[in-house]
Structure 1
């Protein structure tokens, strides 16, 4: 499913209603589903601590507050766009602090993605007057802003002597900890790796070894300055935030000219070329660095909404596979076929709801049968194999049920992965069927 603005909002709303939908679906299961199974479903799904924590994060997340410090031209706005994967830093100026710092809100429509305190390097800042130094003014602004993480941005192609910026951050981090009784996490980002020679290679997967080695040399250069100045950081990473944009009708546009476009085109800019390098790794680093859970979830909502959806769906899949395996331990052949089908249909329906679609149990059943091949024959054969294994109980008590359990759990997991491919990743049905077969084979090889 594509992450356009309306669908993002719909997805968030559906995710917030997830528990209500799950509870209602379990309560309204057909009478053929035993009450014991219903209770197990409710207790396992609604009582799962990890799932509950993820859902609470969606309900109570807040935009992360990011303090950016970097010299003019280092690419701070480009980094914000690269993190979000869309043109959002058409940032709107909401509060002007001093001549040296501004607080911005990055928005996607009406949704606030992140708050950013944007500053120049301390070496480029100027005093307000004879009584207030630029450094003191910035420290005051930063303490009022209470950032969740600080990002020191450096230029990969300019080996600046940033000792003054590093010393400032060191002083700031110490004062911030004293005032707020919490440390200020600092991440160093070396941007514009795409401009490192040979510059003709802009696609990260095509970076030659000599380019990568030069990038690593710059990282070591800046790391040396940081170490010598005694600044404690969470991590340091080299990235490229390069994205070329185009209008909805396919016209490529220079970043400098975007402001002159009609508002509709600005709101619907698309990626013409994606030259982002190690941005996913940077997101991992930022998530780990941010200490506040609500802000951490806010970063995921801003930059990794699909990943959050997939994480919840994967967790659901594991829960349902486990329940299916438990139910399939029933030693009586055929007794659990219908229950397993309903369980799998509930799983498919819940995964679809996470993606922003609302489908019925019957629609989910149709999806399951379509995975089994023409007219569901393949699925039927697998059910027969799963149930037939229970006749082994007559020879070796319990052995057939164990085989049945493994088949049921693996089959449910494969169906869940297929549903994620179709409803979350927006794959075609042919691609989804291929994914289903791969998941089955993987499950079988692990037994």
Structure 2
């Protein structure tokens, strides 16, 4: 899993390099591309705020700092492992592992993915001496840590009196706001859903309705206490962080025995059974709650790099489909065929770069033409049909260009989806063609809709 993350990050870096060179690449396009069109391409690609933000985030990110708070045995250490998707924290079913506040660094080799401040259970707070209590010490440690988000952890199977927990977090939140001049985002996590009756169902996909309903009841119970006590939160989510582990050679190991394993085995433990429930939704909630963009991007880079890639691909396809539609509005037939081919080639090259492959525009063109059938005949036919629609302008002004614009947009979208299937999902060229054929059907439906205008 860690190797996969590293490969995906290398893909993102490759994409960033291609993006940086995009301006030079557009300047180097053949003279047949009008200067006005070149400027339009630059403005739409390099000037796109969302794309630029994503590109900046590839480099400008830092490990998010997460503050975990909850009673002993609620599963704080297990949640750390569930968020990281790797064995990071010591987990025990029988005793408290967090004897004092401790910062965990979730790492991918030497790279820190996220920092987590795990505190002792609130119920364990007591006077350390005559001048400071454990509660005051924790508040000082939390402010020194300066978290990006706080997670209040509760137990799904024990409806504890959490009033003291909520009051403590209100104090933390108030002090944080005074020091940092902004509020502390708070997400409430109701953990150990797997232990809710009927307990024999551990696979989230097999949770019966009665179990899900009981989990929802507990969430509503805790939400009521939080609201009545006046604690402002960003979200509340019920999860299971259940993971069973095995050594690299396939030996199953219970959590109590992990500490006795050789260090190499501990560092390379693999998931044997994944009973995680709604962890992805929790990551969504954390990402939305975190106010700092660099920390927000850091969370994406730490736990969901594949999603970052998918988001980039989708954004690129939408962006270039829009560019193609704009170019196709040109009222002169045939003039934009070559320009559209160039635009789609740039899109394919960008998507290919996300797979770690550096391909030329010529190679991208060959890919595009291969999608249309033998010698690209089918694709060329589509382009000709698109341009022919512009002759309608002589009968009904602008109608032909509107039809052409729709065909160009959906055609570019089809090319982007095929390129994603081939380069990102690593599907055979035949499967990529199927994706293109499916998109062509959408193209035909769009053409019919425009004809009905």
Q: Same fold (TM over 0.5)?
A: yes
Q: Does 1:355 align with 2:358?
A: no
Q: Quick check: 2:317–2:347 contact (8 Å CA) kept in 1?
A: yes
Measured in 1, the distance between the counterparts of 2:34 and 2:346 equals 15
CA-to-partner distance for each residue in 1:85-107, whole Å, 9 max, x for gaps?
A: x315258xxxxxx9620112111
* Structure 2 equivalent of residue 16 of structure 1: 16
| 2:88 corresponding residue in structure 1 | 89
Take 1:110 and 1:281, find their aligned partners in 2: how far apart are those partners? 28
SS of 2:329's equivalent in the other structure is: coil
- Residues 120-169 of structure 1 deviation map (CA, whole Å, 9 limit, x = unaligned): 22112344333221001001101111111100111212222222222211
Give the equivalent residue in structure 1 for 2:336: 336
User: Structure 2 matches for 1:8-407, cutoff 5 A?
Assistant: 8-84=8-84, 86-87=85-86, 89-90=88-89, 100-247=100-247, 250-259=250-259, 266=266, 268-407=268-407
Q: Secondary structure at the match of 1:241?
A: strand
Confirm or deny: 8 A CA contact 1:5 1:109 kept in the other structure. Answer: no
C-alpha change, 1:49 and 1:165, in structure 2 (3 Å) is same
Q: How far has the Cα of 1:408 moved from its partner? A: 0.9
Aligned to 2:94: none
List per-residue Cα deviations over 1:196-229 (Å, max 9, x = no partner): 1112222323211100111112112222332333
Structure 2 match to 1:94: none
Q: Structure 1's 26 and 253: CA in aligned 2 closer, same or farther, altered over 3 A?
A: farther
Distance 1:116 1:100, change over 3 A: same
Give the CA deviation at 1:280: 2.1
Secondary structure, counterpart of 1:30 in structure 2: coil
The change in CA–CA distance for 1:409 and 1:78 in structure 2 (over 3 A counts) is: same
Preserved CA contact (<8 Å) 1:100 1:134: no
Tell me if structure 1 keeps the 8 A contact 2:189–2:238: yes
The structural deviation recorded for 1:266 is: 5.0
Cα 1:374–1:398 change in 2 (3 A) is same
Residues matched between the structures, number: 440
Give the secondary structure class of the aligned counterpart of 1:334: coil
Confirm or deny: 8 A CA contact 1:100 1:125 kept in the other structure: no
- Structure 1 residue 284: Cα displacement: 1.9
Q: What is the SS of the residue equivalent to 1:44?
A: helix
Identify if the C-alpha distance between structure 1 residues 6 and 303 changes in structure 2 by more than 3 Å, giving closer, same or farther.
Answer: closer
What is the CA-CA distance between 1:61 and the residue it aligns to? 1.4
CA contact (8 A) 1:79 1:241 kept: yes
User: Secondary structure at the residue paired with 1:112?
Assistant: strand
When the two chains are superposed, the root-mean-square deviation of aligned CA atoms in Å is 2.6
Q: Secondary structure at the match of 1:103?
A: strand
How much does 1:444 deviate? 4.3
- TM-superposed CA distance for 1:392, in Å, is 2.4
SS state at 2:129 partner: coil
Q: 1:368 to 1:259 in 2, by over 3 A?
A: farther
Return the offset for 1:390: 2.4
Q: Find the residue that maps to 1:161 and give its secondary structure.
A: coil
SS at match of 1:158: coil
Matched residue, 1:95: none
Task: Describe the SS at the equivalent of 1:78.
Answer: helix
Normalization by structure 1: what TM-score?
Answer: 0.90
Label 1:231 to 1:332 Cα distance change in 2 as closer, same or farther (>3 A): closer
Mapped contact 2:89–2:104 kept (Cα < 8 A): no
Which sits farther off after the overlay, 43-52 or 98-107? 98-107
How far residue 247 of structure 1 moved from its aligned partner, in angstroms, is 4.7
Cα distance between partner residues in 2 of 1:366 and 1:251: 48
1:418 and 2:418 are equivalent in the alignment:
yes
Provide the rounded CA distance (Å) in 1 between the counterparts of 2:332 and 2:66.
59
Secondary structure at the residue paired with 2:21?
helix
Q: Distance in 2 between matches of 1:89 and 1:442?
A: 46
Shifted more, 105-114 versus 239-248: the winner is: 239-248
Residue 263 of structure 1: how far off its partner (Å): 5.7
The answer to whether the 8 Å contact 1:389/1:400 transfers is yes
Q: Mind listing any 5+ residue stretches in structure 2 that lack a counterpart? A: 91-97
Question: d(CA) in 2 for partners of 1:329 and 1:242?
Answer: 55
Bigger CA drift: 141-150 or 45-54?
45-54
For the 8 Å contact 2:5–2:305, the answer to whether it is kept is no
Q: Aligned partners of 1:373, 1:404: CA distance in 2, in Å?
A: 21
